[in-house]
Amino acid sequence: MSAMEIESPPPPTAEEEAQLKQLYADFERHHMMPLWTQTNDLMPFTPKPKAVPHVWKWSDLYPLAKRSGDLVPVGRGGERRAIGLANPGLGGHAYISPTLWAAIQYLGPRETAPEHRHAQNAFRFVVEGEGVWTVVNGDPVRMSRGDFLLTPGWHFHGHQNATDAPMAWLDGLDIPFSQQMDVGFFEHGSERVTDYATPRFSRGERLWCHPGLRPLSGLQNTVSSPIGAYRWEFTDQALTEQLLLEEEGQPATVEQGHAAVRYVNPTTGGDVMPTIRAEFHRLRAGTVTPARREVGSSVFQVFEGKGSVILGGTERKLDKGDIFVAPSWCPWSLVAEAQFDLFRFSDAPIMERLHFDRTHVDGGER
Amino acid sequence: MSAMEIESPPPPTAEEEAQLKQLYADFERHHMMPLWTQTNDLMPFTPKPKAVPHVWKWSDLYPLAKRSGDLVPVGRGGERRAIGLANPGLGGHAYISPTLWAAIQYLGPRETAPEHRHAQNAFRFVVEGEGVWTVVNGDPVRMSRGDFLLTPGWHFHGHQNATDAPMAWLDGLDIPFSQQMDVGFFEHGSERVTDYATPRFSRGERLWCHPGLRPLSGLQNTVSSPIGAYRWEFTDQALTEQLLLEEEGQPATVEQGHAAVRYVNPTTGGDVMPTIRAEFHRLRAGTVTPARREVGSSVFQVFEGKGSVILGGTERKLDKGDIFVAPSWCPWSLVAEAQFDLFRFSDAPIMERLHFDRTHVDGGER
Amino acid sequence: MSAMEIESPPPPTAEEEAQLKQLYADFERHHMMPLWTQTNDLMPFTPKPKAVPHVWKWSDLYPLAKRSGDLVPVGRGGERRAIGLANPGLGGHAYISPTLWAAIQYLGPRETAPEHRHAQNAFRFVVEGEGVWTVVNGDPVRMSRGDFLLTPGWHFHGHQNATDAPMAWLDGLDIPFSQQMDVGFFEHGSERVTDYATPRFSRGERLWCHPGLRPLSGLQNTVSSPIGAYRWEFTDQALTEQLLLEEEGQPATVEQGHAAVRYVNPTTGGDVMPTIRAEFHRLRAGTVTPARREVGSSVFQVFEGKGSVILGGTERKLDKGDIFVAPSWCPWSLVAEAQFDLFRFSDAPIMERLHFDRTHVDGGER
Amino acid sequence: MSAMEIESPPPPTAEEEAQLKQLYADFERHHMMPLWTQTNDLMPFTPKPKAVPHVWKWSDLYPLAKRSGDLVPVGRGGERRAIGLANPGLGGHAYISPTLWAAIQYLGPRETAPEHRHAQNAFRFVVEGEGVWTVVNGDPVRMSRGDFLLTPGWHFHGHQNATDAPMAWLDGLDIPFSQQMDVGFFEHGSERVTDYATPRFSRGERLWCHPGLRPLSGLQNTVSSPIGAYRWEFTDQALTEQLLLEEEGQPATVEQGHAAVRYVNPTTGGDVMPTIRAEFHRLRAGTVTPARREVGSSVFQVFEGKGSVILGGTERKLDKGDIFVAPSWCPWSLVAEAQFDLFRFSDAPIMERLHFDRTHVDGGER
């Protein structure tokens, strides 16, 4: 838009200033606030998040989680031994972004985290370890390295560690959204998990994890995915095939050197839960992705490999387990030194369902 | 759920307490916060909004708007002479609820509010007066008493008062949602409105306001309604017919004595915009609606008639023009002394599209 | 595709011919038929309908309907005094196309056609006259010139003539589709219509015919439109506005000089019934539409005006009431001598829902 | 409905009879046919298909296919050595039902069936053998026992036998629907297949056959499934798990002893193609399914095991490879003597998308 010449009004007289002061006082008394003094804040030209880009190092996170395992019991009341990553820009809230919660949860040998359910949607991603089973609506789901697990809104769930070793993992939820938008409900369930079995595959997987096949007993679409665990072996294989197909000259990757899958609800082909998108990305060594800005926030955790992220213009080295957040409209670009595997989750379903989604990719509007 | 007996752990020793203190300090240093100290706040049993139920009196609002008309110019920068209703529970933000903005906008004789566009969705509702045209993407739309007007996200719009009398109306937007979720974009447009014509009907109405008929030039569905103005005469007629049908013993009203219509996008039959639902309710004299709790917040403005609202357990008298907000899960019930007409808007599309919607009606779960 | 040289196999020996003959006989005995002797018939390069383009003159149709009114009673058993238009290419079936049925129905003074219901979807279009009410699921719907009326699948319906003059109209159904695809169900209802009232507007109209407004008592989407009658005054007004907007230089018409509306289900914005699309087209004097080919068949009835259709390459004059059919992939073009109003219905929803739809417009693929 | 007494009109006089005769002659001359003489045929109380229930024995089909392999060349023109199963009720058409085509296709050692494409949707199901690759839009897809393969509408496809043994399989298409509804297009492709590679897995499988995972390069939904082959090992495993879950007391099967999966499009969770549904059913020994009637027709092929079908009231023994058709509304019930595996396809997507679907199950309306 071209610049515009606006004729400035004459400066107010002393009497006018007094009247204005009185007007603003009367506004306040009647719980009113003028728009004209705050337009820029309320309606910025582009998103101006309070949340800042930030990296948490696994080498900090895991030892702290372990220390809490020694000092803090897990049980009814506190419910979970989970430590939230608090975005430094969000003023003392344990929110990694205005919509998303990310935490390290730690369960000691033979411990049980009691069952409960809540309207908030939750998932787990396992960057290392094994031995815990999450029981979701009575179905025990094994947790192992590389697995992505769901506990969608209003599903009862608890955790039990069936081994003598502790285990830690990443919890992701939409707590900040639900908290700010006043949508949360919560209910306690069993003090213990309702099934201490430790099967290799959950019933949900046995019913649903057959590619392209849908049980006739499950023809009704579900709001969230009926798959309790998305196993690493499938994720790894899918990414491997994409890179092989790319080598064969076939279209399969997002962009050169960049393979990626989205975890989906098999009843719809859409996102696993109504508020959270989850993906896994693999970059060939040497790949640098073009800088992307997106409406909404994303969180990444390095699963394996070596590289860095250029986040809001600053490059930051990343090691296994490191977690970073890209707030809304903050540009991010991944740089792979070696093959680089990253888990990603975001609030994209919120943005898309409400039609606020926009993406800008350097070198081409998408 | 029945009460559970939880074996309390032994109280911590002094050494343990010191270690715990150090752990919490280390958490803070690394931008981490434990869940177990804040579960109740983060995950309440039912929504615990900071927003409170509140009534604003038109007899306060209009005079204040008028005074601002004398003292504050309208133009580029401040953009609009709009005064937001600030929920007393929301700590100094001009948010009527965590998702919704409601304001009185005031335009003096012959004034123009310049054109701009923003990602935020907006509407106007006219409780009294006429003479202003809102120009939406170049299409001038007359504003008259009882009309409901749309300026959906990223549509250019300005206002011009074509008369020698001032006019005020209700503005509704999703500013609090967009602000907290970091989704806003903004762009200035023409300093003046792009078309000073004052047609009785806008082009959008002439193309789209024929019941059950869709132009073949408009077969692509649109995110928001292509209708610029929903005229009072149609709303009034629809409500009148519902009450007449009820008298004839036909199913037509929501419940006995309670007629209601939803404003919809004719390309889909769904809500007019992705984040805002708008409805008009008419109660026969003597009707009392059962108390309702809903996830998400609603704002009502009395258009005509006499009655009150029982809001969070307290009855409050309502006169023409009065505005009240029912925060998430706060029960509300309308009481009609005489025929009672109310405009209503809410964030229900957000709740429904993200599957957080729940409703509880006294005397029956819906 | 480039021409290909196919090496011809050697001619069969006498023994091979005998074996082949025996093979074909054995096929027949076992209810088998080879593809290779009939590929061209079964899989043509483009649709090769048996149905032919044809025009029926109202000046033939109406007098014949009137004569049947004198000779044939209406009542249970025959159910309706309706005379189907039999496409000359469809070998003695009363099908105007492989999917569609079109008939002239005639009801004498004070006659009643008894109530029944069927899985088949039906509508009426009134090219002249008035005085009959169609009772649909108990709701009496007035029939007047220019009105388009629905009796969707499995809705009870009967007709009663409340006057001393006869009345005739166009019936459209999906009988040929339902008959060939074996989907029909039928049930007798009341011997008389269930309500002999003659209101100006049906209850469905009173509830639903308010542009952009949806009753809160009707939030559930319906398979077919809840509007019983689409009144001529609305259709006429919508077309008039499109042509006025075109004159003002605004996008509103399908193409220069060609206004058109589609009748839609207000709960979805989509077609009025699952198998039948209905539209109304108005051409300015002098307009000639580009030749169109479409997968699926269309039937037009001239409502008013003067012109012709070029149908499969042959121009045919059209007068008021004349009906013509354009079979699948047969090109058609309308020529308006004076302002030219045509009602149209087609099987397009079948084609689109099954993804067989294709359109070719001379001078541009759509 | 109870019987109704209808007052019979007086018998026509001779003059009236003559007039009626003349009227009917005039109808015929003007291509019109009265409804009242044919209501029962056109609008039956329940579907009255001309197609009859019928069983084809594999012991007849395969030898005949083999004989045609010796006598009939495969190549451009005839296109395929496929022998259609002609429903005895459908008067000399190679239609197994009014919507569906089923054929045995036979490809001799080292033979190639040339590439072509058509609007008709097609699949293959392999009851025995291996060694042929179907090349779909350039992607070679291995065919092996138990596999279900897709060649959706307008995809180029050819077949090549890479071995020295012949191979036969079941072809299923929507030819009768497309033929009667005039929706077919056809185009020749390469005389040879475009890729003679014989990979174990097609590119489509490598990209799409990872349960719950969607490639980011494939986020656009597709009309038909992007999976070229649904492998037997997955089908078998899914059915095995359902029966194991049933044994464990978990809900997993359709009904006691009856496991079943539907083949679906992973981009939507819906049917693989717009007109054809495909499923695989496994019954425990001793299971008898309740008699079902459905609108639309189904074809079954026995894959393995021993049993019979009660089809329209008559029990017929079934052996491996046997094919039977259940026309619309014809009751069918399966009886398993030993574990009984059946492939099934039907026109259910047509019926459901057009809202003609109805199901009646003995002992309970579904």
Q: Which CATH superfamily is domain B54-190+199-211+223-358 in?
A: Jelly Rolls (2.60.120.10)
Strand order in the sheet with B130-136: B139-144, B130-136, B157-161, B112-118, B186-188
Neighbours of A, requiring at least 3 CB pairs below 8 Å, are B, D
Residue D249, chain A, CB below 8 Å: the answer is no
Nearest to C101 by CA among C47, C173, C201: C173
| pLDDT surpasses 50 at B1 | no
Asked if A87 and B56 come within 8 Å (Cβ–Cβ), the reply is: no
Q: Which of C234, C252, C264 sits opposite B207 (nearest CB)?
A: C252
Provide the 10 A C-beta neighbour count for residue A335.
Answer: 18
Q: What are residue A186's DSSP bridge partners? A: A118
Fold of the A54-210+222-365 domain: Jelly Rolls (2.60.120)
Per-residue pLDDT reduced to its tens digit, D347-363: 999 999 999 999 999 87
| pLDDT surpasses 80 at A206 | yes
Q: 3-state SS of A34-57?
A: ECCCCHHHHCCCCCCCCCCCEEEC
Provide, as residue numbers in chain A, all residues whose Cβ is less than 8 Å from the Cβ of D279: 216
Per-residue pLDDT reduced to its tens digit, A280-308: 999 999 999 999 999 999 999 999 999 99
Tell which of D216, D273, D344 to mutate to test the A interface (max A CBs under 10 Å).
Answer: D216
| pLDDT surpasses 60 at B366 | no
**Contact A218/D245 with Cβ under 8 angstroms?**
no
What pLDDT does residue A364 have?
61
Mean pLDDT value across residues A333-351: 98
| pLDDT surpasses 90 at A11 | no
Residues in chain C, overall count: 366
Q: Residue D290: phi, psi to the nearest 5?
A: -65, 150
| Residue A86 vs residues A80, A165, B35, B48: alpha-carbon distances, Å | 17, 28, 11, 22
Tokens of A30: 């009647």
- Least Cα separation, residue C234 to chain D (angstroms): 28
| pLDDT surpasses 70 at C223 | yes
What pLDDT does residue B321 have?
98
| pLDDT surpasses 80 at B77 | no
Provide, as residue numbers in chain C, all residues whose Cβ is less than 8 Å from the Cβ of D354: 183, 274-275, 349-350, 353
Average pLDDT, chain D: 94
What pLDDT does residue C8 have?
57
Mean pLDDT value across residues B300-306: 97
Average pLDDT, chain B: 94
Euclidean distance between the first and the last CA atom of chain A, given in angstroms as a whole number: 22
Query: Which of A72-81, A223-232, C168-177, C269-278 comes out lowest in average pLDDT?
Result: A72-81
Distance, in Å, from the CA atom of A77 to the CA atom of A196, rounded to the nearest integer, reads: 22
Give me the residues of C, 296-335, that contact D with CB < 8 A: 296-297, 327-329
Give the chain D residue nearest C38 (alpha carbons): D78
CA B336, distance to chain mean position in Å, is 22
What pLDDT does residue C74 have?
82
Nearest to A230 by CA among A327, A333, A121, A126: A126
Give the chain D residue nearest C59 (alpha carbons): D30
Query: Which of B248-252, B352-356, C211-215, D35-39 comes out lowest in average pLDDT?
Result: D35-39
Mean pLDDT value across residues B143-148: 98
Nearest to A171 by CA among A189, A191, A157, A183: A157
Q: Where are the domains of chain C?
A: 54-356
Distance, in Å, from the CA atom of A93 to the CA atom of D157, rounded to the nearest integer, reads: 58
What is the band of A6 on the pLDDT scale with cuts at 50, 70, 90? very low
Question: Which CATH architecture fits D54-365?
Answer: Sandwich (2.60)
What pLDDT does residue A91 have?
87
Asked if C1 and D189 come within 8 Å (Cβ–Cβ), the reply is: yes
Give the chain C residue nearest D115 (alpha carbons): C1
Tokens of B127: 């409780």
Provide, as residue numbers in chain D, all residues whose Cβ is less than 8 Å from the Cβ of A237: 210
Nearest to A139 by CA among A157, A114, A118: A157
Q: What is the domain class of C54-356 according to CATH?
A: mainly beta
Where do runs of H (alpha helix) occur along chain B?
Answer: 14-29, 39-42, 58-71, 175-181, 203-208, 232-247, 348-353
Per-residue pLDDT reduced to its tens digit, B262-289: 999 999 999 999 999 999 999 999 999 9
What is the band of B3 on the pLDDT scale with cuts at 50, 70, 90? very low
| pLDDT surpasses 60 at D17 | yes
What is the band of D365 on the pLDDT scale with cuts at 50, 70, 90? very low
Nearest to C88 by CA among C46, C50, C41, C47: C50
Per-residue pLDDT reduced to its tens digit, A243-254: 999 999 999 999
Reported as type and span, the H/E element at residue A22 is helix A14-29
ipTM confidence score: 0.95
What is the band of B297 on the pLDDT scale with cuts at 50, 70, 90? very high
Helices D14-29 and C58-71: angle between axes, nearest 10 degrees: 160
The angle formed by the CA atoms of residues A321, A326 and A331, to the nearest 5 degrees, is 125
Q: Residue B111: phi, psi to the nearest 5?
A: -75, 155
Distance, in Å, from the CA atom of C137 to the CA atom of C155, rounded to the nearest integer, reads: 6
What is the band of A153 on the pLDDT scale with cuts at 50, 70, 90? very high
Per-residue pLDDT reduced to its tens digit, B153-193: 999 999 999 999 999 999 999 999 999 999 999 999 999 99
What is the band of C364 on the pLDDT scale with cuts at 50, 70, 90? low
| pLDDT surpasses 50 at D5 | no
Q: Which of B241, B251, B269 sits opposite C266 (nearest CB)?
A: B269
Q: Could you tell me the pTM of the whole model?
A: 0.95
| pLDDT surpasses 90 at B73 | no
Ordered DSSP codes for D107-150: E-TT-EEEEEEESS-EEEE-SS-EEEEEEETTEEEEEETT-EEE
DSSP state of B331: -
**Contact B79/A36 with Cβ under 8 angstroms?**
yes
- Least Cα separation, residue A247 to chain D (angstroms): 12
Question: What residue type is B36 in one-letter code?
Answer: W
Per-residue pLDDT reduced to its tens digit, D162-184: 999 999 999 999 999 999 999 99
Asked if D72 and C20 come within 8 Å (Cβ–Cβ), the reply is: yes
What pLDDT does residue B365 have?
43
Per-residue pLDDT reduced to its tens digit, B210-235: 999 999 999 999 999 999 999 999 99
Residues 6+ apart with CB under 8 A from C83: C61, C64, C65, C68, C103, C104, C105, C106, D27, D32, D33, D34, D35
**Contact A82/A104 with Cβ under 8 angstroms?**
yes
What is the band of C119 on the pLDDT scale with cuts at 50, 70, 90? very high
Residue D25, chain C, CB below 8 Å: the answer is no
Tokens of D153: 């509408």
What pLDDT does residue B104 have?
97
Provide, as residue numbers in chain A, all residues whose Cβ is less than 8 Å from the Cβ of B93: 33
What pLDDT does residue B130 have?
96
Provide the 10 A C-beta neighbour count for residue C11.
Answer: 7
| Residue C47 vs residues C98, C296, D94: alpha-carbon distances, Å | 12, 9, 18
- Least Cα separation, residue A254 to chain B (angstroms): 25
What is the band of D9 on the pLDDT scale with cuts at 50, 70, 90? low
Share of chain D above pLDDT 70, in %: 96
Mean pLDDT value across residues C165-183: 97
Nearest to C190 by CA among C223, C217, C160: C160
Mean pLDDT value across residues B76-86: 88
Residues 6+ apart with CB under 8 A from B304: B320, B339, B340, B341
Could you give the 3-state DSSP secondary structure of residue B234? helix
Average pLDDT, chain A: 94
